[in-house]
Amino acid sequence: MTIDFSSRTSVEQVEEGQELAPRFDPEGLIPCVTTAAGSGEVLMLGYMNAEALKRTIETGEAHYWSRSRQVLWHKGATSGLVQTVVELRVDDDQDAIWLRVQIPGDASCHVGYRSCFYRSVPVGPGAPSDQGKRALKFEEQRKVFDPKKVYGDAPNPTKL
């Protein structure tokens, strides 16, 4: 079985229609917001190429395109933290995906936290500031797993 997308023919088709006609950027990618189906917490922002999106739809497990490793990435293949898709949505102009997923152990981030978004930035004119700089605040107090145990010597994906 393979998944097929429709061509984009009109604004009305894209915005108001029932055809899946995703728009990939010049690098062939579409951004994907992934949230925890239970809590609604944003776990990660990833990218999919056409194959990753098709495999996600076919299998019901989240697949991404790893920009750092330049490979199709079945999330959880290394860590075991496979994401089971509860719902997949597409936005108005079909250039973004939203996945609601369930994950074992409720952990997603390669640093070891539950969500990749584990730090907040104080916002608004009254927030503390040091010469215009605002210190990040950790919203998760402890790591859910030890990334060294899970990922071993795999290279860190963060780029400066």
Two structure tokens written together for 39? 């809590």
CA distances in angstroms from 61 to 87, 96, 110, 155, listed in the order given: 11, 18, 18, 24
Measured from the CB atom, is 18 or 149 closer to a copy of itself?
Answer: 18
Q: Nearest approach, Cβ of 88 to a copy of itself (angstroms)?
A: 5
Please report the beta strands in 6-96, taking only residues with DSSP state E, as ranges in sequence order: 30-36, 42-48, 63-66, 71-74, 84-90
Rounded Cα distance between 5 and 20, Å, is: 6
Least spacing, CB of residue 89 vs a copy of itself, in Å: 4
Residue from 90, 144, 150, 151 touching a copy of itself (CB under 8 A): that is 90
- Binding to a copy of itself (CB under 8 A) within 96-155 occurs at 96, 98, 109-111, 113, 116-125, 127, 129, 131-139
Return the residue of 29, 48, 56, 75 that touches a copy of itself, per CB under 8 A. Answer: 56
Select the residue interacting with a copy of itself from 51, 80, 89, 104 (CB under 8 A).
89
Ramachandran quadrant class, 4 (left: phi over 0; alpha: psi -120 to 50; beta: rest): beta
Q: How many CB atoms lie within 10 A of CB 139?
A: 12
Closer of 9 and 78 to a copy of itself (Cβ): 9
The reply on whether position 78 binds a copy of itself by CB under 8 A is: no
- The residue (of 71 and 139) whose beta carbon lies closer to a copy of itself is 139
